[in-house]
Structure 1
């Protein structure tokens, strides 16, 4: 691998104009395609094989209005007044009539005709139905409804808009992302002491990210791409894109500081450092692609989309970056005697660095270091035992938003269960479904389930053999009582359905959210097994060691435990919640654990490869294990520190986003990155390796003979001959294109 990448790096340096032209052409073609065809992101999430999805599929044919997007207009009269007062009633009827004529609306139900008036007569609830899916709803249609509510407020009523017209997913970049990018630039400038050197990783990362994201948008025209997929792809792709280029560029500058010729240095930096990038990228791709194990298309697309941007990050790092180094030529070489030069030469072994001093400190008493880190992170992970999961809804929106106000008003006036109704579908093979639906209705009422508020009259579908019963729970859609109710109905109604010769399905958005959470819980262990297993095999091939992959996985468990513990403390318990803009505490987004595990595992293995690859390289060349641990820390500590700070700033910036699906994931990743980089990889790993001794590199002979030699350390490359600092005139000539 190192030999192949050496040739690739040299070719890119020499033919830099061609390599740059290819990437610019890809960017232009992608941009032109997007301008010509646009994109079509889908906000619908399906759960194949689930009871709720089976019910939704039936309803889309027999009662399509029940699966379309809905809005709720909530009207509240002032204290001491009622909505039936003449002035308020006229305002409500006028608003509902106007809503029926609003864009894309099929019908608006007058609350006085449907009797959706609260017991105290102060609140009225009007349903507005759209015969379309959420992704087909225009933003202007939502705005039109909000304008009608604003007009109703002029009469003295409180008027808010709620319902499924509001999506809980989707990224709207804001000032936080700009700040995160600015922090990344500052870290790069401090790391290299040069604006040019700092700009190269950023430039390559942005080009790779742009090609990946625009390509994703184009694919959305021929394949279903969820609206949240670009969010995760952007967050992960930007972070790894900068980090991978940083690793190679740091190696290149260290070699330049030692006197190596620019072309030779670019090739040699692309060899071992590029190998580390390739294998680190593969671990991230494996982890993200492993999300397909769950069997939820929405999640599969998120993982594959992010994996695609990681692939682009690897590609630009090993092809475009060496080409840009060719254009930069001698301008990225640290000046002799400068602070940057001393720092680069120190990281190459000429003097001590902060990373080396830290490594010697934590390996002086390795057992004590291991115990302190393990016990400390174990304590941080304790809140994980209280982790509860649920899908986001309007009840998790900002308290100042109209959808959250509507949600709270409905809960107070009609009961929280009215925000999460259940649909019990009764389907006959042939004949009128109403007798069977009545039988199921009677059975539900006869069960006396304490979590049912009411069961409404059956509604017959247009196929003549399907009916639905609307069950209103007592509690909200994210409460455990509602989850238990869904399971109780599913357990109790099949017998009644068999007696009535009918198929019974519990469906609707609330049941679908519960099915998603159950599917995620059931898939978590198989997912971890597949992803960790494949990654361990890859690390076994890379490092030819049993201990290193196992240690890497165990260290990851400490990092993810700490990330989960911090997420529970903030998003459920409310610790420091206001500081990061968490206005509503409660269950964590159901997708958070599995997505966080996938991304954090891949990135944790990045640091493992960055750090241990330098240790392995030193050990292969010298055979001295103790010195290899110290040397690896000396070489990689600055890169790992800068990479971790950059990733932290990128992920932390997304915590400020309003996307409820992304905020806890970004927060968990930010915490996990800091813990994994500084406590696990740079502290625990050197201590453990020193504690294990040369056994860290042990591999059974029979297995050693079976495994291919990937040569990540570049052992097959000849030792380079450095050039004297006074003989660099030719290298300092203007670079040729």
Structure 2
């Protein structure tokens, strides 16, 4: 019986009929997107866009005045036995100044004897300088300065002569980011391919999802670059796009391909198998992709440009992956036919019994049988485990991690930063008051700036040296005031609050027509956390509400929609708890090559929430679709649940292993924020694919029984987003087709299907 095709089924049917058009159209799309994106280039998020609050306004004032923040560097000259007045110490300082000036890459080189940048014990001094050029140029120029300082260090092995600053740390960050990105790419792809080889036991079947995921990522990268003039992008967005694009791209193809193989193994012809795969797995891919897009769209509600760039990049790569899975994949499968099982890997094909697709294999059958027999006990036990894992969430502390916290333990820049901060507390990252006045040189403003400086030093929460820079032509001045504390602790935040709420209003803001936002590292962290706290309820509410509505319209069931939301919240909560336990409290951190830093990066929880809420729907939609499919074909609810879980266990396991492997690669990267993101995602997906999908979901659905499919009459107006294509009644997928009659030769696909089943 024919029914009206759904969108996914219609796309798959069209692609199978026009396979050359679909394949070559996809290749042309990928090439054009990549080439045009490369020619256009990427427009990055500016400093004014990157941060909210007063920090954003300060950057905007400097931009409007044409005053790019200088790339300042500091050279620490330190001795364990000599004071700064000793001749040898002075000689080293003079040599640093001479060597730096000799590079021609620095300006405004200042001696500590002029700026009074000498530590209280007299054994440390700071040579301050500015590297020529804007940030990108300064990063290139700083190499000569770093080499000059290193040469002085060689001449004075008894002293410490080291450099740290915006350009030198930026150079390290850029290089490390590029190395990490390349390592993630070249590690994640072979990992995914290896797992798919085990899952399929055939080279062609394993390569297809990886190739499609990579081409989707390449095309999405070009599209993001092309649109970056309207919505600026960032390096973080590129990392996230690779992370999510590879994971969902492989998963979507895996769902589709496994269903097509399963139907072929059940004895159906190629055309019917592709039609069923498009109508079932294709629909699951479409619903899952829409869910991820909706979840990521919630990040636009933060109003933070960095989040908006990550959200947009993720949306583009997910939409591209869905498009590839629903068009070019059925076209390729139509072309290849049973050749997709070519390239058999010895022994791997024997790892599964022929009826594995129907039974789920011994392991999952052993897990599922007691769950279905005692659903209440399984619900209580699994729920207790997840609540226990979520408990550390109550102690979670978020912060913008400092330079020392972000970089790996033992990093040279971290060691230099710690030495400078120990000798000059607060000076590596002072608060900066950006003053925009009607007349910056007026007597009233000059007196107000002097008063601000005096009050800051007298407050007991700030200290010298206070550096005042005036730009008369732009009527702008900056006052750099070191804050007490580490930069992101309560002491620094209290000093910032005093500066913003008491000192600045009592001094420079009393001059009419003046603006004076306070920026700096501490201010950036404070403003970012405040914005995050403000926007998180809105984002969470948006994502949960729309995910619920999407599940409701997809399955026309209140119970299924409510269960999906609750289970996803439990998996996210468990991921938060593990993240807090490892990275904040340090439990097991050494196993990851890191240590507890006392806080979770402030943007990670929100990012994890939207990503996980989207990705968790991959499995939920896929599994529940199969359960509903069984019920629609006449199975009782309990039997449909057993059939749905068992028949999807293998593909969900393979998909989860791939996602966990890809995300875990990011847990090995250098930057602490990337580690936290990777570990959080890997843990959540692992929990979701095991405790949630294999235990809690079947247990809860078994307890609900027929109530799983309840939809009130007043919601009958909801659109019907069902499969739109009935599965032909040739037995249950995974069962053998009817035996041929006496004297009748088996059909070719019947003779082959057992060799391609996985």
- Whether TM-score is above 0.5 comes out as yes
Is structure 2 residue 389 aligned with structure 1 residue 386?
A: no
Q: 1:222 to 1:145 in 2, by over 3 A?
A: farther
Q: 1:474 to 1:264 in 2, by over 3 A?
A: same
SS at match of 1:661: helix
Shift of 1:673: 0.8
Q: 1:162 aligns to what?
A: 164
Q: Distance in 1 between matches of 2:511 and 2:119?
A: 35
SS at match of 2:100: helix
Shift of 1:717: 6.2
Judge conservation of contact 2:101–2:109 (CA < 8 Å) in 1.
Answer: yes
Q: 2:501 aligns with which of 491, 511, 514?
A: 491
Judge conservation of contact 2:359–2:647 (CA < 8 Å) in 1.
Answer: no
Is structure 2 residue 36 aligned with structure 1 residue 29?
A: no
SS at match of 2:672: coil
Q: 1:109 aligns to what?
A: 110
Q: Distance in 2 between matches of 1:404 and 1:350?
A: 54
Larger deviation, residues 630-639 vs 385-394: 385-394
Q: 1:43 to 1:390 in 2, by over 3 A?
A: farther
Q: Distance in 2 between matches of 1:314 and 1:383?
A: 36
SS at match of 2:408: coil
Shift of 1:42: 4.8
Q: 1:505 aligns with which of 517, 522, 540?
A: 517
Q: Distance in 1 between matches of 2:14 and 2:163?
A: 60
Q: 1:371 aligns to what?
A: 380
Shift of 1:357: 4.1
Shift of 1:429: 3.7
Judge conservation of contact 2:52–2:304 (CA < 8 Å) in 1.
Answer: no
Q: Distance in 2 between matches of 1:248 and 1:51?
A: 49
Q: 1:240 aligns to what?
A: 248
Shift of 1:14: 3.4
Unaligned segments of structure 2, at least 5 residues: 732-736, 753-758
Q: Distance in 2 between matches of 1:138 and 1:445?
A: 32
Larger deviation, residues 695-704 vs 152-161: 152-161
Q: 1:629 aligns to what?
A: 641
Q: 2:722 aligns with which of 706, 711, 733?
A: 711
Judge conservation of contact 2:560–2:708 (CA < 8 Å) in 1.
Answer: yes
Q: Distance in 2 between matches of 1:139 and 1:731?
A: 65
SS at match of 1:75: strand
Judge conservation of contact 2:386–2:570 (CA < 8 Å) in 1.
Answer: yes
Q: 1:325 aligns to what?
A: 333
1:430-509 to structure 2, matched below 5 A, reads: 430=439, 432=442, 433-444=445-456, 448=459, 450-454=460-464, 456=466, 458-463=468-473, 465-493=475-503, 495-497=505-507, 499-501=510-512, 502-509=514-521
Shift of 1:90: 3.2
Q: 1:15 aligns to what?
A: 18
1:233-632 to structure 2, matched below 5 A, reads: 233-332=241-340, 346=355, 349=358, 354-396=363-405, 397-415=407-425, 417-430=426-439, 432=442, 433-444=445-456, 448=459, 450-454=460-464, 456=466, 458-463=468-473, 465-493=475-503, 495-497=505-507, 499-501=510-512, 502-582=514-594, 585-622=597-634, 624-632=636-644
Q: Distance in 2 between matches of 1:691 and 1:238?
A: 36
Q: Deviations over 1:498-539 (max 9, x none)?
A: 644444422223312221121112111111001111111111
Q: Distance in 2 between matches of 1:703 and 1:430?
A: 65
Judge conservation of contact 2:360–2:648 (CA < 8 Å) in 1.
Answer: no
Q: Deviations over 1:223-259 (max 9, x none)?
A: 5211211001100100011000000011011101011
Shift of 1:175: 4.6
Judge conservation of contact 1:426–1:436 (CA < 8 Å) in 2.
Answer: no
Larger deviation, residues 643-652 vs 615-624: 615-624
Q: Deviations over 1:166-196 (max 9, x none)?
A: 2458452355654443332232122222222
Judge conservation of contact 1:384–1:565 (CA < 8 Å) in 2.
Answer: yes
Q: 1:95 aligns to what?
A: 96
Judge conservation of contact 1:75–1:92 (CA < 8 Å) in 2.
Answer: yes
Q: Distance in 2 between matches of 1:667 and 1:13?
A: 39
Q: Distance in 1 between matches of 2:499 and 2:418?
A: 26
Judge conservation of contact 1:381–1:564 (CA < 8 Å) in 2.
Answer: yes
Q: Deviations over 1:103-138 (max 9, x none)?
A: 76443322232221222332222223246554x246
Judge conservation of contact 2:78–2:125 (CA < 8 Å) in 1.
Answer: yes
1:100-249 to structure 2, matched below 5 A, reads: 100=101, 102=103, 105-130=106-131, 133-134=134-135, 136-137=136-137, 139-155=139-155, 156=157, 157-165=159-167, 166-167=169-170, 170-171=177-178, 172-173=180-181, 175=183, 177-220=185-228, 223-249=231-257
Q: Deviations over 1:402-457 (max 9, x none)?
A: 32122101111111x112211234444446221222344455456x3x43234726
Q: 1:144 to 1:263 in 2, by over 3 A?
A: farther
Judge conservation of contact 1:689–1:696 (CA < 8 Å) in 2.
Answer: yes
Q: Distance in 1 between matches of 2:104 and 2:223?
A: 32
Judge conservation of contact 2:555–2:721 (CA < 8 Å) in 1.
Answer: no
Judge conservation of contact 2:70–2:134 (CA < 8 Å) in 1.
Answer: yes
Q: Distance in 2 between matches of 1:108 and 1:344?
A: 74
Shift of 1:366: 1.3
* Alignment RMSD: 2.9
Judge conservation of contact 1:654–1:662 (CA < 8 Å) in 2.
Answer: yes
SS at match of 2:355: helix
Q: 1:176 to 1:34 in 2, by over 3 A?
A: closer
Shift of 1:60: 3.7
Q: 1:200 to 1:4 in 2, by over 3 A?
A: same
Larger deviation, residues 265-274 vs 50-59: 50-59
Q: 1:378 to 1:94 in 2, by over 3 A?
A: same
Judge conservation of contact 1:2–1:274 (CA < 8 Å) in 2.
Answer: no
Shift of 1:35: 5.2
SS at match of 1:622: coil
Q: 2:703 aligns with which of 687, 691, 697?
A: 691
Unaligned segments of structure 1, at least 5 residues: 733-737
Q: Deviations over 1:363-403 (max 9, x none)?
A: 22111111111211222222222222222332122343332
Q: Distance in 1 between matches of 2:54 and 2:689?
A: 42
Q: 1:55 to 1:357 in 2, by over 3 A?
A: same
Shift of 1:149: 2.6
Shift of 1:49: 5.6
Q: 1:253 to 1:611 in 2, by over 3 A?
A: same
Q: 1:248 to 1:161 in 2, by over 3 A?
A: same
